[in-house]
Amino acid sequence: MYSVPFFRRKNSKNLDIDSLHDAKVNELRAALGPLSGRSLQYCTDACLRRYLEARNWNVEKAKKMLEETLQWRSTYKPEQICWHEVADVGKNGLISRADFHDRFGRIVLIMRPGMQKTTAGEGNLRHLVYLVENAILSLPEGQEQMTWLIDFTGWSLNTNVPIKVARDIIYVLQNHYPERLALIALYDPPRIFQAFWKVVSYFVDAKSFHKVQFLYPMRKESEEIMKSYFDAENLPTEFGGKKSLKYDHEEFSRLMAQEDEKTAKFWGFDYKPSNHVSKLHLREEVVPEPLVE
């Protein structure tokens, strides 16, 4: 007989928190001042909430963080990176978007650092930024986060990115894409990777750090975490699932070319496919049979 008052108190408390957060969003928007163009388009209420959450709902700190992101976006222009500009970095399947979602409807990015063939830092960063931007625009309505699956097959210190590059990537993800990651699953990493992680984790903030999970096959706790996030029927065998993981660069390039058109439409700029993309499309066309006289 006490259940009704209990739920009323709980709902009332949640409403109070929501009202407080809404007020913080409005306060942050007022503090930012007038915005225009893509900055205005970027700063949705959901966006402001993510920056506030990343800074524990401190308006001044969130404002500083968001203004730094807007400055970065105005110079780096992540939304204008096209697949043909970064495709070569990922031609071996270094990072790709999975053809399945996790149990919460999140986009899944699969990373295979063992496929790393270059230590060109800027190329690695642009390639990752491109795929993160694409994943964000592809998220289902109401979902704001993505999940990363990292397969260490073939990984060694020789294939690893330099610490400086890793630090730059961490900085961009933490400061310009706050609250976008739900889980980073490091699946069966070799012991030597832990030494590398000890160094780079120094640059990882507390919230991001707790989203990184070291998971191993044949360990009950790891298996439970994977089951809670993924359906084994969709999950590649490299992560303890039942599906075969095969990366087809031409097929993925065709998909990304289509995504680039959607991105350009969303942000309002002209998209011009490269010759490489055009050739990929031509391969799909059916060649007519010669006429029989």
What is the per-residue pLDDT for 276?
A: 52
Q: How many CA atoms lie within 13 A of 21 on its CB side?
A: 18
pLDDT, position 114: 84
Question: What are the helix and strand counts (H, E) for the chain?
Answer: 12, 5
- Distance between CA 223 and CA 226 in Å, rounded? 5
Task: Show the domains of the chain with their CATH numbers.
Answer: 26-64 (no CATH), 85-250 (3.40.525.10)
The span from the CA of 149 to the CA of 183, in Å, is 8
Report the chain (293 residues): mean pLDDT per 10 consecutive residues.
45 75 95 95 97 96 98 97 93 92 95 75 87 95 94 80 86 96 94 88 91 94 95 92 91 95 92 59 39 35
pTM across the whole model: 0.85
| Token pair in block for residue 137 | 């625009």
pLDDT computed for residue 6 by the predictor: 42
Find where tokens 């889980």 sit: 183
3-state secondary structure (DSSP) of residue 276: helix
Task: Quote the pLDDT of residue 119.
Answer: 55
Closest CA to 179 of 292, 36, 48: 48
pLDDT at 185: 96
What Rg value do the Cα atoms of the chain yield, rounded?
Answer: 22
